């Protein structure tokens, strides 16, 4: 096809406008917000399926690009589902009175966990008042005194009888500091040793016999005295037990009646009852420690009564529905819980009250949402989550156990049964890596929800998209957007996805543009946002990130970076590149040059040889090399030695979007025919010589236009793009205006021959049945030069053999 037959694209092809006039509204004030998951029907179906599936293993992995709104839509769906879910249980840990290092777990209906904790606190406070008060009462003292008097009377009566019998024998029974003793009497007084010696022998023998007999009875009485004292102590203890029961039993009966339906709680209360009876003296500890001034609630929480406390691990306080937990720091301990320690004089200790819950505890019976990237960065967090899901229980193990380190003896808390839906949110790369390298992943996360990034720009979808914009405008309290402002928003949405037939679903970028456009409107006192304000916001965003682009443009204009935008040259041409810096990207032209000479068919990619070329760029060069052989040397060896390079590039070069221009530059070097420098070309090529679509077409065109505009538009300058990229054009208005005025041109081609006719300004030439091209054509010149080199190589080879 001749160059004259190729026409520049029309203005309507350069900017695919959005016409909203047929919708019949004036601004977003006339529209209703749309809260649906626009364009995400597939992902939402997967989410609803996962949360509705009652069987284990149907946990969910959600992926999609940042800014799509994954978290918002997932949270909204999960919260709606959770609001209709079953009320979760309360979970508490209590002291194990038989094995203190193995705390017991109790599950209670929603709200009863906190109630039980308060009731046990009140019980201890109540007993701290009642028990000391009762044992200090006059009634208790009188009853103790009665028992004491009774046993003293029994002791006195026993010794009184012995005393009377001794008195008949002229012997007295006396109480001494060390006990009781017997002694003979004379005239009513205790006989002295001298008086006893002066007695007749017969009297002495009588007294001795009486003393021996009475002493035997005294010994018997003294031997029975400890038994009597023991009976006294037992009687007093029985009294104390009776009074203790009279205080504790009614108090615990109230709790037993309140929690009668909870078997586990009743068992715990039985153990508490037995322990309180056995350790009633603990309730006198404050008095012994002279802590009378200490507030009662603090005394009740002291270490002495810790075993009666309730460690309320999770309580939902009748908030209704199933819990939804979003864990932002998914470390191992934050997920499965931890056991804390207290330090005292350099010694670490712990008990059931120091068990702290994790996200799995709080989400039990509901839903847990976790960022997959963060989860995988914390040691043992992923393994801990998998173990909990696999075993359907939450077992709290300290990290030193996970590391295999033996340290301070810790608790072995009873595991809590687990029923939860886990939603991981992460990149697609993470999903497929886990799918490939973790055998357990597929069995635990069976559902995959992949969020879409774009949707068709159909009338129905545009209407829904306007509803989404209206929703965001209302949520952000922005100024209303007029018809023209919305048209500009929709057009920019299509540009973000490089396709005029699509709309971007990136909510983050959309809401940023809405905010910035509304700000631009308010800065000039406008009450509504129109197209000018949106364009102003876009321009400011580009300007904020344009420093590097301007520096590159300055180097081109000053000649530091050599680029021609007029004339013609052999073996060089203008390719187009795209730079991505953060959210902003821009295009710049780059000179591509080639050399060709007689050789053995080798094509050197200098970028690859210097390890500055990426694999896709290398692939493009290999394709164009084979395209040359297929077109021009089908029946002869390719006696060519050529090289290709991006001039003055000092970083990585990747992508195949310059392969069409590289091929034309190489054809120019082979044929010696010059290429028009007023054109820049983008597009990849296949082995059949077809021009293929590329990305960033708008930025590439605008990058070359900027160079030509700054140097002065001549009307001959332009950009050649693949025809398949025409639907992607949404160019800056300045470029469209220049094209409409004939100062700049954009051509679309689909074959190499069309590209040749534009660049060389000559007929490309069509091959005959033998594969020969017309000698005067571009293809013919290339083919003839390759044949000449082949003949020359044959001659040189023959001479060398001689």
Only one residue has tokens 């007749």, namely 200
Burial degree of 92 (CB within 10 A; 0-12, 13-18, 19+): buried
Q: Which residues contact 336 (CB under 8 A, 6 or more apart)?
A: 358, 360, 384, 385, 388, 394, 395, 396, 397
DSSP string, 413-428: PPPEE---EEEEEE-H
Residue in the block written with tokens 């960033």: 696
User: Kindly report the CA angle at 423 between 418 and 429, in degrees rounded to 5?
Assistant: 135
Whether 624 contacts 742, CB under 8 Å:
no
| Residue whose C-alpha is closest to residue 788's, from 634, 636, 571 | 636
Radius of gyration over every alpha carbon of the chain, rounded to an integer in angstroms: 49
Output the six-digit token pair for 683.
Answer: 């597009």
Catalytic site residue 657? Answer: yes
Residues paired with 62 in a beta bridge: 425, 449
Q: Are 574 and 589 in contact (CB under 8 A)?
A: yes
- Judge contact between 425 and 448, C-beta under 8 A: no
What Cα–Cα distance (Å) separates residue 300 from each residue in 50, 125, 132, 303?
Answer: 47, 6, 14, 9
- Between the alpha carbon of residue 412 and those of residues 91, 95, 401, 422, 674, the distances in Å are 16, 12, 12, 26, 83
Q: Would you call 452 helix, strand, or coil by DSSP? A: coil
H helix and E strand count, the chain: 29, 30
* Other CB atoms within 10 Å distance of the CB of residue 343: 8
Q: Which of 306, 316, 363, 371 is CA-nearest to residue 337? A: 363
Alpha helices (H) along 26-69:
41-52
Select which of 63, 700, 757, 777 is catalytic.
Answer: 700
Q: Catalytic one among 657, 659, 684, 757?
A: 657
Question: Residue 319: CB partners within 8 Å, gap ≥ 6?
Answer: none
Instruction: Provide the annotated active-site residues.
Output: 657, 700
């Amino acid at each position: 096809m001749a160059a004259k037959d190729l026409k520049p694209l029309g203005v309507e092809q350069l900017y695919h406008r959005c016409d909203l006039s047929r919708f019949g509204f004036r601004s977003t004030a006339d529209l209703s917000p749309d809260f649906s998951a626009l364009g995400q029907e597939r992902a939402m179906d997967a989410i609803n399926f996962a949360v509705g599936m009652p069987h284990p293993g149907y946990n969910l992995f959600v992926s999609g690009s940042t800014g799509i709104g994954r978290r918002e839509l997932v949270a909204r769906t999960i919260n709606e589902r959770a609001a209709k879910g079953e009320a979760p249980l309360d979970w508490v840990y209590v002291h194990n009175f038989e094995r203190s290092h193995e705390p017991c777990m109790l599950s209670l209906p929603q709200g009863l966990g906190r109630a039980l904790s308060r009731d046990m606190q009140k019980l201890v406070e109540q007993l701290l008042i009642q028990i000391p008060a009762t044992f200090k009462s006059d009634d208790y003292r009188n009853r103790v005194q009665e028992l004491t008097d009774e046993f003293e009377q029994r002791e006195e009566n026993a010794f009184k009888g012995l005393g009377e019998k001794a008195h008949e024998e002229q012997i007295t029974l006396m109480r001494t500091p060390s006990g009781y003793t017997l002694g003979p009497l004379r005239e009513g007084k205790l006989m002295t040793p001298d008086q006893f010696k002066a007695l007749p022998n017969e009297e002495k023998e009588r007294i001795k016999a009486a003393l021996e007999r009475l002493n035997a009875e005294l010994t018997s009485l003294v031997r029975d005295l400890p038994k009597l004292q023991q009976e006294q102590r037992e009687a007093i203890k029985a009294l104390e037990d009776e009074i203790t029961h009279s205080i504790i039993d009614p108090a615990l009966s109230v709790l037993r009646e309140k929690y009668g339906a909870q078997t586990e709680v009743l068992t715990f209360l039985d153990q508490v009852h037995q322990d309180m009876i056995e350790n009633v003296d603990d309730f006198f500890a404050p008095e012994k420690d002279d802590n009378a001034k200490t507030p009662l609630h603090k005394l009740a929480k002291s270490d002495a009564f810790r075993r009666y406390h309730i460690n309320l691990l999770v309580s939902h306080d009748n908030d209704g529905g199933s819990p939804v937990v979003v864990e932002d720091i998914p470390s191992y301990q934050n997920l499965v819980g931890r056991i804390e320690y207290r330090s005292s004089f350099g010694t670490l200790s712990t008990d059931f009250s120091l068990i702290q819950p994790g996200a799995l505890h709080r989400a039990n019976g509901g839903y847990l949402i976790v960022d997959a990237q963060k989860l995988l960065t914390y040691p043992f967090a992923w393994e801990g989550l998998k173990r909990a899901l696999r075993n359907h229980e939450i077992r709290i193990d300290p990290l030193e156990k996970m590391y295999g380190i033996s340290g301070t003896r810790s608790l072995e808390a009873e595991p809590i049964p687990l029923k939860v839906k886990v939603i991981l949110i992460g990149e697609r790369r993470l999903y497929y890596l886990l799918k490939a390298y973790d055998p357990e992943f597929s069995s635990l996360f069976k559902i995959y929800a992949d969020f879409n990034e774009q949707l068709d720009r159909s009338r129905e979808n545009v209407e829904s998209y306007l509803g989404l914009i209206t929703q965001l405008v209302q949520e952000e309290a922005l100024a209303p957007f007029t018809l023209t402002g919305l048209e500009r928003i929709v057009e920019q949405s299509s540009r973000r996805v490089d396709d005029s037939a699509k709309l971007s679903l990136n909510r983050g970028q959309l809401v940023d543009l809405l905010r910035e456009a509304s700000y631009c409107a308010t800065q000039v006192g406008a009450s509504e946002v129109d197209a000018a304000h949106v364009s102003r916001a876009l321009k400011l965003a580009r300007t904020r990130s344009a420093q590097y682009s301007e520096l590159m443009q300055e180097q081109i204009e000053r000649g530091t970076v050599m680029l021609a935008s007029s004339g013609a040259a052999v073996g060089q041409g203008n390719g187009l590149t795209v730079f991505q810096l953060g959210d902003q990207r821009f295009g710049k032209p780059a000179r591509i040059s080639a050399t060709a000479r007689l050789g053995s068919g080798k094509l050197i990619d200098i970028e690859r040889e210097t390890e500055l070329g990426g694999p896709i760029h290398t692939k493009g060069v290999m394709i164009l090399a084979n395209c040359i052989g297929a077109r021009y040397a089908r029946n002869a060896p390719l006696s060519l030695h050529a090289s290709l390079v991006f001039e003055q590039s000092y970083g990585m070069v990747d992508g195949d979007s310059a392969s069409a221009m590289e091929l034309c530059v190489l054809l120019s070097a082979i044929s010696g025919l010059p290429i028009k420098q007023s054109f820049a070309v983008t597009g990849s090529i296949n082995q059949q010589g077809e021009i293929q679509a590329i990305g960033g077409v708008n930025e590439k065109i605008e990058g070359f236009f900027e160079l030509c505009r700054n140097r002065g538009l001549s009307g001959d300058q332009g950009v050649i793009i693949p025809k398949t990229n025409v639907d992607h054009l949404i160019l800056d208005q300045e470029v469209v205006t220049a094209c409409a005025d004939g100062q700049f041109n954009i051509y679309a081609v689909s074959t190499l021959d069309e590209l040749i006719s534009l660049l060389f300004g000559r007929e490309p030439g069509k091959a005959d049945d033998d594969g020969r091209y017309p000698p005067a054509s571009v293809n013919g010149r290339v083919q003839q030069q390759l044949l000449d080199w082949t003949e020359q190589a044959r001659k040189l080879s023959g001479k060398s053999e001689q």
